[in-house]
Amino acid sequence: MTLKQALESARHILAASDIEEAALESELLLRQVLKIDRIQLYLELDNELTKKQEEGLRRLTQRRLKGEPNAYITGHREFYGHDFRVDGRVLIPRPESELLVDRVISLARGYHAPIIADIGTGCGAIAISLALELPQAKVYASDISAAALEVARANCQKHGVADRVCLLQGDMLKPLPEPVDLIVANLPYVRRQEVNDNHFEPSLALNGGRYGTEQIGRLCLEARSRLRPGGGLLLEIGQGQEKAVTSRLKRLFPRAKIEVVPDLAGTARVVTAVLPAEPYAGLNLTKRMPE
């Protein structure tokens, strides 16, 4: 069997099981078996696979048919133009989160040497992308999961930013050693009753409570004491959560400039709250967001 025939066979099998982007996924699986890049694959389409390589492709295809994400099978996911290592210890970075990075970069350019905190960093994709795009920034990346931080550490080393991204273990903003200019977070926002439908990604990185906003609500409360004057809070949210999150932010930060950025599908995806340059106090912090 040639590489071309193997590619077509895998594509047909995946498409028959209604797997989206079957052509791309079959290519990724074959490249994983052969340990080659995309250019080399298409230069060698007439080459023959060995029996061992055919069996390897068959095994990976079967894993995909059972629902395992391609990123876990290959151990890689591209995000913001960079390749990141991922496995079952971390959530797989989504394209929607690139909107979050775009917005942080836009705001960060208004600071001389911004201090940024990425909360719930997972594999480190957001924090590392920011460090690569903003060489003058100081970046903290925290996660409650020690296992997730192991993956993030490997990615920091891979991208040469281990000396610029400070990894911290702990809940929300508690491990931060100082106030920061920008807090960015893609926290769990899937409703609790929907998490069980996912059999591969860690539930800790998905479960946002009854309404999907439990973790977001906690971060909003803590952010008030950890943001420097003129700082900003940037949150990725789930579908239908815009009103709850923006209402919460308006109560906590009545003088902040609040904006909502939609994704390509038109769904409200990123919420930003930028504080005034001077500090203020005297607000009631006891009212809770639905959990």
Q: Please check whether residue 285 lies inside any domain of the structure.
A: no
Residues 152-181 have pLDDT tens digits of: 999 999 999 999 999 999 999 999 999 999
Final residue belonging to a domain, choices 44, 74, 104 = 74
Whether 45 and 162 share a structural domain: no
Whether 9 and 152 share a structural domain: no
CATH of the domain at 38: 1.10.8.10
Give the relative orientation of helices 125-133 and 97-108 as an angle to the nearest 10 degrees.
Answer: 40
What are 288's two structure tokens?
Answer: 């809770």
Q: Which amino acid is at 25?
A: E
Q: Please check whether residue 170 lies inside any domain of the structure.
A: yes
Whether 104 and 237 share a structural domain: yes
CATH of the domain at 106: 3.40.50.150
Whether 49 and 147 share a structural domain: no
Whether 228 and 250 share a structural domain: yes
Give the range of the structural domain holding residue 240, as residue numbers without chain letter.
77-274
Nearest C-alpha neighbor of 130 from the set 151, 157, 161, 170: 161
Could you tell me which residues are beta bridge partners of residue 184? Answer: 118, 234
The helix/strand/coil state of 143 is strand
Q: How many domains does the chain have?
A: 2
d(CA 287, CA 252): 9
| pLDDT values of the chain reduced to their tens digit, one per residue, 291 residues | 999 999 999 999 999 999 989 999 999 999 999 999 999 999 999 999 999 999 999 999 999 999 999 999 999 999 999 999 999 999 999 999 999 999 999 999 889 899 999 999 999 999 999 999 999 999 999 999 999 999 999 999 999 999 999 999 999 999 999 999 999 999 988 877 777 655 788 888 877 778 778 999 999 999 999 999 999 999 999 999 999 999 999 999 999 999 999 998 899 999 999 998 876 443 433 333 444
Radius of gyration of the chain (CA): 21
